[in-house]
């Protein structure tokens, strides 16, 4: 939901967040990561990708409520570039959590 509201945050937060050095939306887009856990529909995923970029999305599943196969199939068939799929599937988590590929 937050990516949907980023533009609104920018407009309303200028009055209440004068002490911040940057707009509120900048803190979100530069310091937060999101997961599509259990929500495998294209429009919200593409909006998140557009608003935050592939560097801020982490692959996730919603087990035991949904099987991992659905999440994997969604990412495999998503109309995004292979480098972005790699980031979302594992590279972002490796970087964020300081994991080497051999630890996974």
For the annotated catalytic residues, the residue numbers are 62
Q: Please spell the DSSP secondary structure of the chain, one letter per residue.
A: -HHHHHHHHHHHHHHH-TTSSS-HHHHHHHH--B--TT---HHHHHHHHHHH-GGGB-----TTTS-HHHHHHHHHHSSS-HHHHHIIIIIHHHHHTT--GGG-
């Amino acid at each position: 939901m937050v990516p949907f509201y980023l533009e609104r945050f920018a407009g309303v937060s200028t009055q209440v967040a004068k002490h911040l050095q940057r707009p509120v939306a900048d803190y979100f887009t530069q310091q937060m990561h999101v997961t599509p856990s259990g929500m495998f529909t294209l429009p919200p995923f593409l909006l998140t990708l557009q608003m935050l970029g592939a560097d801020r999305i982490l692959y996730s599943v919603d087990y035991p409520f949904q099987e991992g196969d659905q999440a994997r199939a969604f990412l495999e068939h998503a109309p995004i570039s292979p480098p972005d799929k790699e980031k979302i599937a594992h590279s972002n988590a490796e970087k964020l959590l300081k994991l080497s590929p051999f630890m996974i």
